[in-house]
Structure 1
Amino acid sequence: MADPITISLGCMLYDHTEALLGGGVDVAGVELRAEPSHDVADLFRRVVERRGPDVAELGFTFLLRSMDLDDPPLVGIPVFMMRKFQHSVIYVNEASGITAPADLAGATIGEFAVYGHDMGIWPKGILADEHGFAPERSRWLIGGTDEPMAPMDFVPQRHPDSVDVRHIGGGAALGPMLEEGRIDALISAVPPAAVLRGDRGVRRLFADADEREADYHRRTGIFPIMHVVVVRRDLLDANPGLATALYRAFGESKAVAEQAYRAGRTAEPSAPWHFAQLLDRRGVLVDDGRHEHGIAANRAAIDTFLRYHHEQGLSDRRLRCEDVFAAELLDT
């Protein structure tokens, strides 16, 4: 890039983005206009509707759904803003009789926000791989966890014809429905209030979720990805080298946060650092690159998510890294 360009960046304020958003880290050849967001759903809507920032945080599934458009408007940068392990996001009503994954067959299951949100795709896929779970054998209700939530109509509400899915609508919310036994289980990025209160009528499917997550990490090397960074395709086409400049800047910002974390200056690190902290206490190696940015360190996680996305009927074809991420960053 010859002359500096001005671009806008919208993302949540994480510890690993703080230096970039605050001006402590520069993007080479760019005058950055930071737009920290406090409403991730609104940010996603603006990005998908092309009213949002030039560079932005976006749910991985929303990026993949845009790839089915005739002229995909977004390109991924292998910067992974949010991650979370998945065995702990499945909740059940104690009276449902569900004690093991096999018991989910025939159950009515709530899912937060949209059928196939990032933290819905992962647990379904893991349950399918390791326990033979089949989504079409259950009924699915979509909505907010503890508050009513309008449909996310800015993305196609895709699901296979063989899967029974509907939005609960009205003034209902899935958390209270789980408490009342109107649904048997819930998959949600947001823990239901009953769990936070310690209500014994609602519990996690896996009582040993922490141990299962640590074991999953040991066996697979996967630290599940939820949100990625996207850039407008036309902006990248017009500015060769921009993808690399952005990637390096996000990496530098993360390094600032990591240094503070290791020096004990970050009291309550955000994702992904607090997950690394938990894993460290379980004796899992966390300095092996599995929570880094880039393709090489995340190939297994990316390929697994792309497979799950297609298997669950959310993309027309099984996408590859080369379809999703900027070509100049495929060797990162």
Structure 2
Amino acid sequence: MNAKLRVATYTYEHTEALFDGRVTIEGADATFETDPLVSNIFQRTVERRYDVAEFGLTYFLRTFDLDDSPFLALPIFPNRNFRHSSVFVNAAAGIERPQDLAGATIGEFALYGHDPGVWIKGIFADEYGLTPDRSRWVIGGTDHPIPAFDWIPQPVPDGVDVRHAADGETLAAMLESGEIDALVSVDVPRSLLQGSTRIARLFPDYETVERDYYRRTGIFPQMHIVAVPRDIALRGDLMKSVYRAFCEAKEIAQRKYRDGASKQHMAVVTPWFSRHFEENRALLGEDWWPYGVAANRKAIDTFLRYHHEQGLSKRLLTSEDIFAPALLDT
């Protein structure tokens, strides 16, 4: 009898084939759910409403400090992004480089140590000597007020000044007014997209900085993994089927771009996309969005180190601690 699986993930182009049935999970009767707010999927995952679910990497790791950690991960990374582009500053604050954030008040989206925040704090510590305890932190929503996420552990290390924004406050408005000096956020402030001159990026030419970061480190930062309750994660053949299905769906999306290169991607509405694709392919390789432990070990182990150094994990976890055993050799 096939296993019944309730699967939840955002509808990225590399998961679309799972939703429309082009790819199925062998040995499973799977139903797929999504949500416009991926954090809603995270909360329902914590509430154990899914059998297989996309989960923010920091949200997942925080559960390892519970008395009975409920999940293991599959080495599937639905969401990843370079993070130098996630840092915004008040244009009048005189902040021109990461070292200038020492003594500054910095807003952070959603919780202290959201996935982009863990990455960029770790990068700042490694490459610029700026550790989180040298700044003050205000947590909240970028353009919409959000309450504290009370459904996930929110550790704050000793010596770090962290508070939540007041009711009704948004971090983007606080940044424009100068109430905070900088912002780390997965969301770009709407006012910046609309042409505000009061907000700027810390790295104006962030693409060049991020490409250099990849050339030097080989790291393409992951934001999310796929989490599975431990009892299901130990069903090795089933986990291999889930993994293969996500890989196949991703390959369909990637193949579309590889095949489209011969026609200069005439199905894509973005001008000069083919040139951009060529640059990415030359830098990132044929599989520019890899799944599996081997291709992602350095990046994941780096995030695990950052998570521990920033006081968000009580112990330094390893890839062997967090991934389903049957997929450690992927």
TM-score calculated relative to the size of structure 1:
0.93
Cα distance between partner residues in 2 of 1:47 and 1:68: 17
The structural deviation recorded for 1:268 is: 6.8
After TM superposition, the structure 1 = structure 2 runs for residues 221-236 of structure 1, keeping only pairs within 5 Å, are 221-236=218-233
The range that moved more, 254-263 or 243-252, is 254-263
1:4 aligned residue:
2
The structural deviation recorded for 1:291 is: 2.1
Structure 2 residue identity aligned to 1:42: N
The structural deviation recorded for 1:226 is: 0.1
Whether 1:245 aligns to 2:241 is yes
Q: Deviations over 1:100-126 (max 9, x none)?
A: 111100000000000000011001111
2:29 aligned residue:
31
Structure 2 residue identity aligned to 1:163: V
The structural deviation recorded for 1:35 is: 1.1
Q: Deviations over 1:155-204 (max 9, x none)?
A: 11111021000111300000010000000000000001221012122100
After TM superposition, the structure 1 = structure 2 runs for residues 27-176 of structure 1, keeping only pairs within 5 Å, are 27-50=25-48, 52-176=49-173
The answer as to whether partners of 2:34 and 2:41 remain within 8 angstroms in 1 is no
SS in 2 for 1:7: strand
Quickly say closer, same or farther: Cα 1:107–1:296, change in 2 above 3 A.
same
SS in 2 for 1:15: coil
The answer as to whether partners of 2:18 and 2:24 remain within 8 angstroms in 1 is yes
Structure 2 residue identity aligned to 1:70: D
Quickly say closer, same or farther: Cα 1:114–1:278, change in 2 above 3 A.
farther
Cα distance between partner residues in 1 of 2:228 and 2:269: 30
Cα distance between partner residues in 2 of 1:267 and 1:43: 29
How many residue pairs get matched?
323
RMSD of equivalent CA atoms: 1.8
Cα distance between partner residues in 2 of 1:288 and 1:317: 36
The structural deviation recorded for 1:284 is: 4.3
The structural deviation recorded for 1:281 is: 3.1
Structure 1 consecutive aligned stretches of length 4 or more whose deviation exceeds 6 Å: none
Quickly say closer, same or farther: Cα 1:170–1:235, change in 2 above 3 A.
same
Quickly say closer, same or farther: Cα 1:296–1:38, change in 2 above 3 A.
same
1:189 aligned residue:
186
Cα distance between partner residues in 2 of 1:214 and 1:284: 11
Identity %: 50
Quickly say closer, same or farther: Cα 1:244–1:109, change in 2 above 3 A.
same
The structural deviation recorded for 1:37 is: 2.2
SS in 2 for 1:285: helix
The structural deviation recorded for 1:214 is: 0.3
TM-score calculated relative to the size of structure 2:
0.94
The structural deviation recorded for 1:278 is: 4.6
The answer as to whether partners of 2:236 and 2:325 remain within 8 angstroms in 1 is no
Cα distance between partner residues in 2 of 1:194 and 1:184: 16
After TM superposition, the structure 1 = structure 2 runs for residues 174-323 of structure 1, keeping only pairs within 5 Å, are 174-237=171-234, 239-264=235-260, 267=268, 278=276, 280-281=278-279, 284-287=282-285, 289=287, 291-323=289-321
Quickly say closer, same or farther: Cα 1:113–1:316, change in 2 above 3 A.
same
1:13 aligned residue:
11
Structure 2 residue identity aligned to 1:143: G
Structure 1 residue identity aligned to 2:238: L
SS in 2 for 1:182: coil
Gaps of at least 5 residues in structure 1 are none
SS in 1 for 2:78: strand
Quickly say closer, same or farther: Cα 1:327–1:268, change in 2 above 3 A.
farther
The answer as to whether partners of 1:115 and 1:142 remain within 8 angstroms in 2 is yes
Quickly say closer, same or farther: Cα 1:277–1:301, change in 2 above 3 A.
farther
SS in 1 for 2:107: strand
Gaps of at least 5 residues in structure 2 are none
Q: Deviations over 1:179-236 (max 9, x none)?
A: 0000000000000122101212210011221101000011111100001111111223
